[in-house]
Amino acid sequence: MKDGLWINYRTGKEYPIDEHERWLRRDNNAKKLGLSSKLIDSFEDFEPTKDRNKFLLFLMSHAPIMRVRGHGNYVTFEFSNRSSKDAVDSIWMWGLKNAGDYTNLYIVNFKTNEKTTILWKDFKDAMDSGGSDAVMRAATNEKFKWNEKVAKELIAISKSILGVDLTIE
């Protein structure tokens, strides 16, 4: 698989995309994905292409959306939420339709700074035995290191747009 998707893990809706940022900025796609009007209004605070990574991280931090991209024998899933349950459930639903036993899943949760690699067959076994928590326990976890400059810029943007004071954990 080399395709890309946006998944709203609260609604379960999946949208095939060409490129994550461009797809969100086109037509009515962001609204279709379930982003709030306030988040959509914030798009103008990010310069297209130049601010791509900040833009995507900001949106994943403020909406129940997951970025998915296939890379041949593995698939990357990226989201940002303290609870991984809904996102992992969405990965499970995706895998039931699309994965083979040896499809490698690379899962990144930016909120908890975890990244996990697990084969679909092991993911499925873990889900069957204990749900999303079992997946995270069964997988190999590594801490994800934020780029401090990007993190500070995202906090400043979040504060200005949402009026919320955030801190880096």
Are the C-beta atoms of residues 79 and 65 closer than 8 Å to each other? yes
pLDDT digits (tens, 9 = 90+) for 121-142: 999 998 988 888 777 666 555 5
Please give the structure tokens belonging to residue 2.
């080399």
**86 pLDDT exceeds 90?**
yes
User: 114 falls in which pLDDT band (50, 70, 90)?
Assistant: confident
pLDDT of 3 reads 85
Reading phi first (left if > 0) and then psi (alpha if -120 to 50, else beta), residue 78 is in beta
Q: Which residues have C-beta within 8 Å of that of residue 142, sequence separation ≥ 6?
A: 114, 115, 116
**28 pLDDT exceeds 80?**
yes
Are the C-beta atoms of residues 64 and 81 closer than 8 Å to each other? yes
- pTM, 2 dp: 0.80
What average pLDDT does the segment 143-156 reach? 68
Are the C-beta atoms of residues 121 and 102 closer than 8 Å to each other? yes
pLDDT of 103 reads 95
* Chain length of the chain: 169
pLDDT digits (tens, 9 = 90+) for 94-110: 999 999 999 999 999 99
- Quote the crossing angle between the two packed helices 85-98 and 120-138, to the nearest 10°: 170
